[in-house]
């Protein structure tokens, strides 16, 4: 289950990056999603790879 959540996070993050660089997020005022993904990266990596 944990691997599925990690893969889902990366899929969403890649999608957000592509939408950011194409300007789609900025046109709709959703640029804050990039910051949310960036902030969620650190806890996700910390809890995902605990032994």
Stretch 2-24: mean pLDDT: 93
Q: Distance between CA 26 and CA 19 in Å, rounded? A: 9
pLDDT of 48 reads: 77
- 38-49 residue pLDDT tens: 999 988 888 778
Mapped to the 3 state alphabet, what secondary structure does 1-51 carry?
CHHHHHHHHHHHHHHHHHHHHHCHHHHCCCCHHHHHHHHHHHHHHHHHCCC
User: What burial letters (b/e) apply to 5-20, b meaning 16+ CB within 10 Å?
Assistant: eeeebeeebeebeebb
Q: What value does the mean pLDDT of the chain take?
A: 91
End-to-end CA distance of the chain: 16
pLDDT of 5 reads: 85
């Amino acid at each position: 289950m944990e691997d599925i959540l990690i893969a889902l996070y990366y899929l969403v993050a890649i999608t957000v990056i592509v939408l950011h660089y194409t300007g789609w997020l900025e046109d709709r005022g959703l640029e804050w999603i990039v910051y949310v993904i960036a902030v969620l990266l650190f806890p996700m990596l910390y809890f995902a790879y605990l032994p």
